[in-house]
Structure formats: C-alpha cells, structure tokens
Chain A
C-alpha cells in the first residue's frame, strides 16, 4: 500500500528538481510516442533539442529562439507576480492583443511622418492598452468581487473580436485592395521594431523581457511590495495582519501583468509580425501560463522556461519538415511537459510512503 504524506515544509530539493525530472519524463514518453508513430525517437528528440542550438543552421535558429522566447518571458513574468499572490490573470492573450492594437494604432496615426518620438509613443500606447484591458477584471474584482479568472479569460474573446474589427475597418491598409490587415510596420521606419544588431534576433522586446526579469527579481527579493505579494500567496491571514491592502495588490498585479502583456504584443506587431491582422495572436498569452509554472514562478526560472518552450516550437517545426512528424504530435509533446511538471510537483508537498495495510 502506498500513501501520500504531506510534508511539514515543501521540499526545497524537489522544487528545484521537478522541472528537470519533468523534462526528462517528457523526453522518455515523448520518445515513446514518436516511436509509436514509426519515427526513430532518438533522432526525433535530437532534432527538437539539438538542431536549433547546434545544428547546421543554428546561426539562423539561435536568434529565432530570442524572437520566439521573448514575448513568452515578458508575459510570464507579469503573470508570475499575480500567481504568487493568488491573483489569476488568465487573459494575458487578450491584453497582448490590445497592446498590439493600441501600439500599432498609435504608430499608424502618424503615418507617413518619420520622427524619433513615434516609437516611444507606441511603446507607451501598447503598455497602456494591455494595462487598460487588465484593469477591467481588476476593477470588477475589487469593486464587486467578481472572479478575475473568468472575467480576464472571457475578455480574450472580446479582444479577438476587436482585433478582427480593426483589421477589417479602422486599421485596414488603404492600399491593401480590400484585404484585411493593417499597413506593414516593417516598411515604416519610425514605427519598426527592428533588430538592434542585424541577424542577432535582438529587438526591443527581447531587451525589455530581460529588464523585466531583473525587475521582477529585485521586486520579489528586495522590495516590501514583493514581500507582500509572496506573503499574500503563502499566508493570506498573516498578510492581513501585516497590513497588506488586498485591493491595491490586485490592481497592481493585474495592472502590471496586463502592461507587460501589452508590451509584448506591441513589440511583436511592430517587429516580427509587422502588421495587425485577424490571426495576429498565436497563443503566447496562454503558453506564457505554462512558462510561468514551468519556471516555478521564479524570474530566472521563467527565463529558462521561456527559452525551453521556444526551443520545442522551433525544434518541433524542424522535426515536422525533416522527419514528417505531425504537428499534433509536437503539441502533445509540449502538453506532456506541463502535465509532468504538475504531476511531479506533488513530490514537493507530499512524500510517498509505503504503509502497512493494518493502518488503513
């Protein structure tokens, strides 16, 4: 008979070990899945994890890891602060969309003027758009006690409709022959979030993501507000006695995560994506939730998790075209990662014991 016994203190060793164990388990079971599909599992896993980093064309893929990973990290950092305090922003995808709409809209309002101040205005507008969208669930929660999980999630679908609307109307490219989608910001210099060093993949979004990691680290470890966030999540009653104002904390956490998601959207639309289009959002806001947990809600962990996730995306595409693996198999592989992480997480808080049957 095997029983689970709650640990008096969460195990520190396991909390560091579970992400690694989860990655290993994903490789084993993912390999099994690929084998069942008739592919060589070692080759498939090798392609996914090795090829983008050290393969023949790594010079192209490595920068792409930054491009793909940066929005994930930026959004996940914001989410992790709220998650630590038990404030669940599930709607980062919507805030990401609104950031893109506001950012691109602000830039396109100046078209075709070329000026140095346009890009900074777009950055502010993007952050504002995301913040505004997150303030809706925040305000409703503070004022009426609504559930922020539901409200923020539902607002994703509203944001998607607004995205479709502006792609077809307000921001539609007047020279686009009636097709949906805005002007391409890549060909509008003042609004283009170009690579800072050509070929490096480094654009302002990557820089901002790295700054956000440092900022979150300092906030959580050196600042009173960070302490309040952790306290509220770990011991809500103690937080009350310590004088934490829950309403202020909710507004701060949701606002900040919305702002970062908005920034991610803005940097994406003005850089790699280039234009506002109906299918602009590809799920970064949802994937970032996985990244936040995979990174243990720790800023440095999130940084690593973001790039691991980016690696599976890029490696997955290579495996598709080189080995003919179906896209769905790659998605299952990514899903396994979160599943195993949550499953092994049990070991952080529980101990597995062999118990004698007479106890039961």
Chain B
C-alpha cells in the first residue's frame, strides 16, 4: 500500500518534472519477448516503433528492452520504463498480460497496450491482429501448390490464436484440394531456430512439400531451401530473403499504423481503453508479395480472396462447418462470432490428431 503510494507519487513527480523539462516530448516504451533481429514477431514490432519515431520526429522519444522473459522480469522492465517517465508502454507478448495489469495498477497515469491478450483496465488496452485472414490466403495457395497432398504445420503453442490459424489454413486448403492432409508438429516455442529447423525436417521427411509455420524464425525456410522442393510462407515478417522460392508469400504483421494512432491519442489526450482486433481491411495484416513460383491463376485467386476479405465480403469461417468430432458448428452461410474465435479450442472436421491438453 505504502509502496504503491510511493511509486505513484514518484511517477507523478517525475511526470511533472519531465513535463516541465521537455514540454511536449511523449515517451513511448516497448517491451519485446525476442531479440529485435529475430526476423519475425519482434522485428515487426520494432519496425512499428521506428515508424513512430519517424512519424513524430522530435515530438516523441522511444525506448525498448528486448528478450524480456515473461513474468517478474517483464514486470520490472515495465515498472522501470514507467518510473523513467514513459507515457505509453506497448507490451508485445501474450505472457506479459498479468504483469502489465499489475504494473498498470501502480501507474494510473501511464497508458499501457498489451498485444494478443484479453484483459483490459482503465489504462490498459488490448490489441491483436486477425492473422487467420492471412492463413486463409496461405491455405488456398498451399492446397494448390502441394503435390504430395501433405502440408506440414509448425505450431508454437496450442492456444486459440494458433488453433485458429490451423483451422483457417486447413479449411481453405481443403476447399481447393479435397485430398489434402495436415501434419502438425508442436514446437512449444515462439522463437528457437534449432527446434524449428528440427520440426521442419521431420515434416519434410514425412512427405510434406508445403510447410506453414506459426513460429518466428527463418529456420524452417532454410530447412525447406535445403530440401529443394518444399514451399514455405513468411511468418509475422516478410522473410523475403527466401523469395521467390521456397518462400512464395507471407503474412506480415503491420503494427505501425496502430502504434502511430495510439501515440497520437496519448498526445491529444484522447486515449481510451479499447480492444482492437484488426485484419486485412485495416492493414494490420498484410499479405507479402506472392512470388512467380506460384502459377498465375493461383495467384489471381489468392489475391481475389484477399480482396474479398479486405472489402468485408468474405469471412474465413463461413458455414457450413463442422467441428472435428462431427458436431455442427456453423450453418450454411453463418459466420463465426468473435467470442468463439477468440477462445477457439477445437479443430474443424477433417483435421487429424488432438490438440495437446
């Protein structure tokens, strides 16, 4: 109790002090789970940070700490940023959720933004992207490109976000190729090049000639390149260094517009708690260039699919769809609601295997 007061008063005092010193310089902090050079998840968040710096120039100061473990270390890093006068702090990993809420309680005047979680508070917003829209495009291309009809999928953790991606990719692969089969390997990591490479190799040995990944490093791309005839997609970042083959397209997380908008809101004093879940339409999810390794007609279909989602005409989870156990999920023409999608813990009909529990 006393400590909280102490922290708050220190923060207030500091807020006043910095306010007096640097009139309108807004300080924005970023907490990263991986290294900024991971080439995937953290790399894109850091690009968002750089975009904020570029957009606001002298009016903003950004700071970041990378490779912060989820848990007490994250709590300390956030507290440190708040103490040092940050006005807005982006915490960019699911595991930072409870620490973010804890720290936010101690610093009511600092705004927090937590990525991919579900908890909010008067000074904590949540934001995430509809990556599953990108997965639909990937699934379509994958279903068309596979010759062995076996598509390998490197899952990170069996959480709703990842399961959503698997379902979306599967539905759209199956649509264009009824014989397609998914093999899923759980890596239990977001970023571990060695493990990811192992997973890719195992899938390739099992006959997969398309690899989709929900992990952040380029190791699976390298493994596919070595194998020679395996198609991959960039994850979180474009990974264009592996284009035009094996990387034929990618899902790119574009956080820059959101980061700029939220920083602007703090500057204007119009910041409010929101739960943002944006997709292709808003530009938070982008489809990286589809390379020439993909036949022209497939590319055209994929782009049409993307355009339909961008226009809001098509939802990747549109009925009729059944769950894996054969029970009905969505009736003909019905689309999934966000609540079900947010907590998705089941496979759709046709996928093999069980979600690890």
Where the two chains meet, the residues of A that have a C-beta atom closer than 8 Å to any C-beta of B are 57, 59-60, 64, 67-68, 160-161, 164-165, 168-169, 172, 177-181, 184, 186, 198-199, 268, 272-275, 277-280, 282, 313-314, 317-318, 320-322, 324, 326-328
Taking CB atoms, residues of chain B closer than 8 Å to A327 are 35, 65-67
Question: Which residues of chain B (180-224) have a CB below 8 Å from chain A?
Answer: 188
Q: A60-B79, A60-B83, A168-B357 are in contact. Are A198 and B2 (CB under 8 A)?
A: yes
Taking CB atoms, residues of chain A closer than 8 Å to B71 are 272-274, 277, 279-280, 282
- A64 engages B159 (CB within 8 Å): no
- A179 engages B66 (CB within 8 Å): no
Residue of A168, A169, A184, A317 near B98 (CB, 8 A) is A184
Taking CB atoms, residues of chain A closer than 8 Å to B137 are none
Q: A57-B10, A277-B71, A279-B95 are in contact. Are A164 and B188 (CB under 8 A)?
A: yes
- B76 engages A180 (CB within 8 Å): no
Taking CB atoms, residues of chain B closer than 8 Å to A165 are 356
Q: A168-B158, A168-B357, A277-B71 are in contact. Are A178 and B344 (CB under 8 A)?
A: yes
Taking CB atoms, residues of chain A closer than 8 Å to B258 are none
**Cα-based distance from A221 to B344 in the complex (angstroms):** 59
**Cα-based distance from A182 to B91 in the complex (angstroms):** 20
Where the two chains meet, the residues of B that have a C-beta atom closer than 8 Å to any C-beta of A are 1-3, 6-7, 10, 29, 35-36, 63-73, 75-77, 79-81, 83-84, 94-95, 98, 102, 118, 157-160, 188, 342-345, 356-357
Q: Name the 4 nearest CB pairs between A and B, nearest first.
A: A199-B3, A272-B72, A282-B69, A178-B345
**Cα-based distance from A256 to B241 in the complex (angstroms):** 51
B342 to chain A: closest residue by CB: A177
Taking CB atoms, residues of chain A closer than 8 Å to B159 are 178-180
Taking CB atoms, residues of chain A closer than 8 Å to B68 are 317
Beyond contacts A179-B94, A327-B67: 8 other A-B pairs, Cβ-Cβ < 8 A, are A177-B342, A178-B160, A178-B345, A179-B118, A179-B160, A320-B65, A327-B66, A328-B35
**Cα-based distance from A179 to B342 in the complex (angstroms):** 10
- A317 engages B76 (CB within 8 Å): yes
Q: Closest Cβ of chain A: how far from B198's Cβ, in Å?
A: 13
State the majority secondary structure of interface residues on B. Answer: mixed
Residue of B36, B65, B345 near A317 (CB, 8 A) is B65
Taking CB atoms, residues of chain B closer than 8 Å to A198 are 1-3
Q: A57-B10, A321-B84 are in contact. Are A277 and B95 (CB under 8 A)?
A: yes
- B160 engages A321 (CB within 8 Å): no
- B2 engages A199 (CB within 8 Å): yes
Q: Closest Cβ of chain B: how far from A332's Cβ, in Å?
A: 13
- B357 engages A318 (CB within 8 Å): no
**Cα-based distance from A326 to B69 in the complex (angstroms):** 15
Taking CB atoms, residues of chain A closer than 8 Å to B95 are 181, 277, 279
B7 to chain A: closest residue by CB: A60
